[in-house]
Amino acid sequence: MIRSMADVDVRQGLRKVLGQVQVAAGNRSPDLQDVKPRLVAVSKIKPAELILQAYEEGQRHFGENYVQELEEKGHNSLILENCKDIKWHFIGHLQSNKVNKVLAVPNLFMIETVDSKKLATQLNKNWPNFNPDSKLNIMIQVNTSGEQEKNGINPSEVQGLTEYVLKECTNLRLDGLMTIGQFGYDLAKGPNPDFVCLKQCRDDVCKKLGLNWKDIGLSMGMSDDFEHAIQLGSTNVRVGTSIFGHRPKKA
């Protein structure tokens, strides 16, 4: 049975998740202690009123999977009026013909799902038309699990796309690498191999391109595994259900 909006205590859920993030970060190895993980509250299929509650509790980063929903919420008068410092993350697959719709969203902070030179080129070319005074934060999406239904580049392609973004896309700022990973991984088997793979991709590309690994973030971990992801080095976790409650399946 799906809970109604009145049954969801967003503030309590958010406080609990933030506490879990803090504890997980505190349990990391010493070299990771100075990197504070960023919590992205995934608000897809949730109304503006619940976003407002989370914002009032101090949450600033929110993630949306669908272009139309990001458009609607980004231009929502309630959110525009009351959430001046909101930072939107687009975390779904972005098609070329919808790039401008996403770039036009007020307070767009990051696109976490760049998975081709074509998309990077289009974002780089079009972003100055919307916000010429800043760079657009992006992440490169890596398909670490090799599942056909998931988007993202192959781990072997990370260096090439990273190098392309850094050298050719002067209007973009590379925040790091992102993966969704396999759903329902059993942690009794050991560290999640998708998270280990993404970290290895980051370490390899930093070594080959002479980058500081602390400048290349890792977006990995969701409601059921974000604590484990943080302990493995995640700098950006996407949590929806644990904050907003379960969502109905999209038709």
Give the Cα separation of 78 and 29 in Å (integer). 42
- Which amino acid, residue 65? N
Q: What is the mean pLDDT of residues 224-249?
A: 91
Q: Does domain 10-28+35-239 have CATH number 3.20.20.10?
A: yes
Report the greatest alpha carbon distance in the chain: 52
Q: What is the mean pLDDT of residues 66-94?
A: 97
Q: Does the CA dihedral 75-76-77-81 come out positive or negative?
A: negative
Structure tokens at 192: 């999640």
Q: What is the mean pLDDT of residues 54-72?
A: 97
Long-range contacts of 66-75, Cβ-Cβ distance < 8 Å, separation of 24 or more: 66/92, 67/92, 67/94, 67/95, 67/98, 67/101, 67/102, 69/44, 69/45, 70/102, 70/105, 71/101, 71/102, 71/104, 71/105, 73/43, 73/48, 74/105, 74/106, 74/107, 74/108, 75/105, 75/106
Q: What is the mean pLDDT of residues 216-237?
A: 95
Strand stretches in 28-135, DSSP E: 38-42, 61-64, 87-90, 108-114
pLDDT of 31-54, one tens digit each?
A: 888 888 999 999 999 999 999 999
Give the Cα separation of 17 and 24 in Å (integer). 10
Rounded to two decimals, what is the model's pTM? 0.93
Mapping DSSP to helix (H, G, I), strand (E, B) and coil, where does residue 236 land?
Answer: strand
How many CB atoms sit inside 10 A of residue 149's CB? 6
Residue 250: the pLDDT is 55
pLDDT of 176-191, one tens digit each?
A: 999 998 888 888 899 9
- Which amino acid, residue 96? S
Phi, psi of 61 (to 5 degrees): -95, 125
In contact, 208 and 200? CB cutoff 8 Å? no
Structure tokens at 240: 């929806």
Which residue has better confidence, 148 or 48?
A: 48
Give the Cα separation of 38 and 23 in Å (integer). 14
Q: Which residues contact 137 (CB under 8 A, 6 or more apart)?
A: 109, 110, 111, 172, 173, 175
Residue 161: the pLDDT is 98
Residue 181: the pLDDT is 80
Residue 2: the pLDDT is 37
Q: Is the pLDDT of residue 1 over 50?
A: no
